[in-house]
Amino acid sequence: MARYFSGPRLRAARKSASLSPEHLAISVGRSSYTIREYEMGRVTPSVATLAAMADTVGCTVDELLDEEPEAVNG
């Protein structure tokens, strides 16, 4: 079964690590706007960015994936 990036899982992991979107953004070389777009499921990060975010928040890439793709609110 395919696995998809999960913005809500990223948000939960970031909050669990007590990081602001701004701190995560600086750590992975992205803007805080882009982090928020990831968390809302509007943008999917590259594999390299996904790995960097997982490392920064202290989880595995697998923990940021879900069985179903996120519905885009638009």
Beta bridge partners of 65: 5
Per-residue pLDDT tens digits for 36-62 = 999 999 999 999 999 999 999 999 999
Residue type, position 37, single letter: E
Element (H, E) at 4: strand 4-5
Q: With 70 as the cut, is the pLDDT of residue 72 above it?
A: no
pTM for the model stands at 0.89
Write down the H helix ranges in 1-74: 7-16, 21-28, 32-39, 47-57
Helices 7-16 and 47-57: angle between axes, nearest 10 degrees: 30
The CATH architecture assigned to 4-66 reads Orthogonal Bundle (1.10)
